Amino acid sequence: MYVWFSQMGFPHSSLQFPYKRQSPTTKKTKEYKNFDEVEAELLELSNTFDDNKFTLGRNLYFYVPLFADARWFIKEEIVQLVKEYNYMKNYRIPIAASLDEADSYKLEMFDVINNELAAITQYMGEKQ
């Protein structure tokens, strides 16, 4: 999700708990009293996209602003991984001395980042 918002921009949001919004999963108005309730909604929403033709990041980019502030879900670890991915890509810095020595978590995350960036490129092409 962060990849999409970092590339496409964050929408303005001034939500403060408690607040009411339409739930994207139930389509009913719901009062969100704290972050835990919003996070549970996000998890439930994420599970509805299992067989969707779009990436999870794209789906969340369009759905999260309908019921929450996307900035609430941004974790510094992900921000740093995206920065590291960009450094590696732009400056051709290897992830490790060999593939066997590469951190499997970073490889998986870089694959997700790469797929989301490709999906953004595809989406921007569709808009034109």
* 41-61 pLDDT tens trace: 999 999 999 877 899 999 999
In this prediction, residue 89 carries a pLDDT of 96
Same domain membership, residue 87 and residue 64: no
Could you tell me if 14 and 67 lie in one domain?
yes
Q: Global pTM?
A: 0.90
**Single residue among 33, 50, 72 that ends a domain in this structure:** 72
With contact defined as beta carbons under 8 Å apart, do 2 and 78 qualify? yes
Quote the number of domains for the chain.
2
> What residues are paired with 125 via a beta bridge?
none
Angle at the Cα of 31 from the Cα atoms of 30 and 36, rounded to 5 degrees: 105
| Whole-number pLDDT of residue 101 | 93
Of residues 127, 14, 4, the one with CA closest to residue 59: 4
For tokens 């590339």, what's the residue?
A: 7
Do 120 and 96 fall into the same domain? yes
Predicted pLDDT of residue 128: 74
Q: Are 52 and 59 in contact (CB under 8 A)?
A: yes
pLDDT at position 51: 75
d(CA 113, CA 91): 17
Residues 46 and 97 in one domain: no
Range(s) of the domain holding residue 55: 2-72
Helix (H, G, I), strand (E, B) or coil at 20: strand
Q: Which residues of the chain have pLDDT under 70?
A: none
Tell me: do 7 and 49 sit in the same domain: yes
Element housing 52 (H / E): none
